[in-house]
Amino acid sequence: MQYLKKVTIWAIFLILVSTPIVRAETIDEIKKNIDEHNNKIKQLEEEIGIYEKEIEKTSTQAQSLQNAVKILDTSQKKINTEIKKTETSIAKTNLTIQELADEMNKIEEKINSNTQAISKTLNQIRQNDDKSLIENFLTGESISDVLDDYESISQLQEKIKEQSKELVAYKDQLSGKKVSKEGEKTKLVSLKSGLNDQNQILVINKKEKNALLTTTKNKEAEYEKVLAETKAEKERFEAELYQYESQLKKVINPDSFPSSGKGVFAWPLDNIYITQYFGKTVDAKRLYTSGTHNGVDFGTSIGTPVKAVLSGVVKGTGNTDEQKGCYSYGKWVLIEHPNGLSTLYGHLSIIKVSAGQEIKTGDTIAYSGNTGYSTGPHLHLTVYATQGIVGIQKYSSSIGCKNVSIPIADINAYLDPMLYLPSL
């Protein structure tokens, strides 16, 4: 009976020590590294904020070659800092994935150890159950020994029940960690994609600066001359388009779209700074032949993520800069929404979507830029009653923009975006 007692005690001991020792120092080191990366990200965000304020301040000053170059230089510093932030975020996410993997390994070890311990103990109980109580009495050293052994087995059975419950809990824990790890991996893919975009935007920014200095020969007088010529070309195009769209007389049912509704749309940018409103504004009278600005302008630096204001389908994308002298939207995206409204996003640097693609509210569809006719980096947002859009087509009757495609709509299809955006 001493053998049975030793085996039983060993089985209980096996279960009690089945949980592996947690390597706390490894987890603690990873957590410490993650905290350090979080602090670095915070510092970089503060630096980015300083550059954004500097760009905003310079953009409000009088147009000059010096200010234009300063904006591009500051934008370059900001993008470089954003690249550092993204690289730090990638490193942090990798650490998080490593931390989750370590935790998952420990849980799997616990599961395996518990399973083996339970299996061995059940096997031992089964072997002892093959002997009758009388046989144990006859072979035991004393009645006390036999009763002690059966009490041990009873306790062992209770321990198995507890260990089985822990096993279920470990499996649930493992399932949760797996979901978290997959989420972090998806985030990592997105961060790496964003890093590629930021590097591409940096290249665009440098090319823009070189083109500006080459065109103006780094002379203020040349810059003013180019500015005046660009403005004249823009006014000519605006006059053409306004005259054409005024003649369309597209039938628009007012019940086909919401007349207003604050919060129907989300903001297209994370940080909102409006530089020009819709309709007859001072700047509209100065910049647009019709005297009416057909959207809302948001001041933002080159490379800021532009987000869809509402779920919908991308109806088209384009780039009016493909024809030299076509000073219009530059790179643009048009999205049709299910509520009878459509939105156009202009002056972009990189377009991330394509025609026919379904997108959700808040999805990044592009990055802001300074393409087309733009007196500084910003995002232009136009809202249409979808029924009033004739289509996306080449404006063949235009002088300066006949070889590029743009959305054409009845002038009555243009709506004030502020009617649908959240309250400021």
CA dihedral 398, 227, 343, 236 (to 10 degrees): -20
Number of domains in the chain: 2
Residues 331 and 294 in one domain: yes
408 located within any domain: yes
55 located within any domain: yes
Give the pLDDT confidence score for residue 201 in this predicted structure.
94
Give the residue among 168, 172, 175, 158 at the shortest CA–CA distance from 15: 158
Last residue of a domain, one of 166, 187, 207: 207
Tokens 């591409």 sit at which residue? 200
249 located within any domain: yes
Give the pLDDT confidence score for residue 282 in this predicted structure.
40
Give the pLDDT confidence score for residue 27 in this predicted structure.
77
Residues 21 and 72 in one domain: yes
Range of the domain at 301: 219-419
Cα–Cα distance, 361 to 266 (Å, whole number): 7
What tokens were used for 269? 């940018």
Residues paired with 95 in a beta bridge? none
Residues 325 and 203 in one domain: no
Residues 266 and 202 in one domain: no
Q: Which tens digits make up the pLDDT trace of 155-171?
A: 666 776 777 777 788 77
Give the pLDDT confidence score for residue 250 in this predicted structure.
87
With contact defined as beta carbons under 8 Å apart, do 386 and 310 qualify? no
With contact defined as beta carbons under 8 Å apart, do 360 and 311 qualify? yes
Residues paired with 141 in a beta bridge? none
With contact defined as beta carbons under 8 Å apart, do 322 and 404 qualify? yes
Give the pLDDT confidence score for residue 239 in this predicted structure.
82
Binned average pLDDT, 10 residues per bin, the chain of 424 residues: 46 46 66 93 95 89 90 93 94 91 84 77 64 53 55 66 76 85 91 93 92 92 90 83 86 90 94 86 39 84 95 97 90 97 97 97 96 89 94 85 92 91 92
Give the residue among 163, 159, 184, 37 at the shortest CA–CA distance from 103: 184
DSSP code string of 121-189: HHHHHHHHHTS-HHHHHHHSS-HHHHHHHHHHHHHHHHHHHHHHHHHHHHHHHHHHHHHHHHHHHHHHH
Residues 187 and 326 in one domain: no
Last residue of a domain, one of 183, 207, 231: 207
Cα–Cα distance, 348 to 302 (Å, whole number): 8
Last residue of a domain, one of 148, 173, 207: 207
Cα–Cα distance, 19 to 325 (Å, whole number): 73
402 located within any domain: yes
With contact defined as beta carbons under 8 Å apart, do 298 and 379 qualify? yes
286 located within any domain: yes
Cα→Cα distances 411→250, 278, 294, 375, 376, Å: 9, 13, 9, 24, 26
424 located within any domain: no
Residues 172 and 128 in one domain: yes
Residues 131 and 230 in one domain: no
CATH code of 353's domain: 2.70.70.10
Three-state DSSP class for residue 311: coil
E strands in 197-311: 274-276, 296-299, 305-307
Tokens 């995002």 sit at which residue? 379
Give the pLDDT confidence score for residue 165 in this predicted structure.
79
Give the pLDDT confidence score for residue 2 in this predicted structure.
46
DSSP state of 413: G
Residues 133 and 183 in one domain: yes
Residues 167 and 41 in one domain: yes
Sorted by sequence, the CB contacts under 8 Å of residue 132 that are 6+ apart come out as: none
Residues 270 and 367 in one domain: yes
214 located within any domain: no
Residues 165 and 55 in one domain: yes
Give the residue among 391, 396, 387, 296 at the shortest CA–CA distance from 346: 296
What tokens were used for 177? 């960690």
Residues 223 and 196 in one domain: no
Show the DSSP H helices in 217-255 as ranges: 220-246
212 located within any domain: no
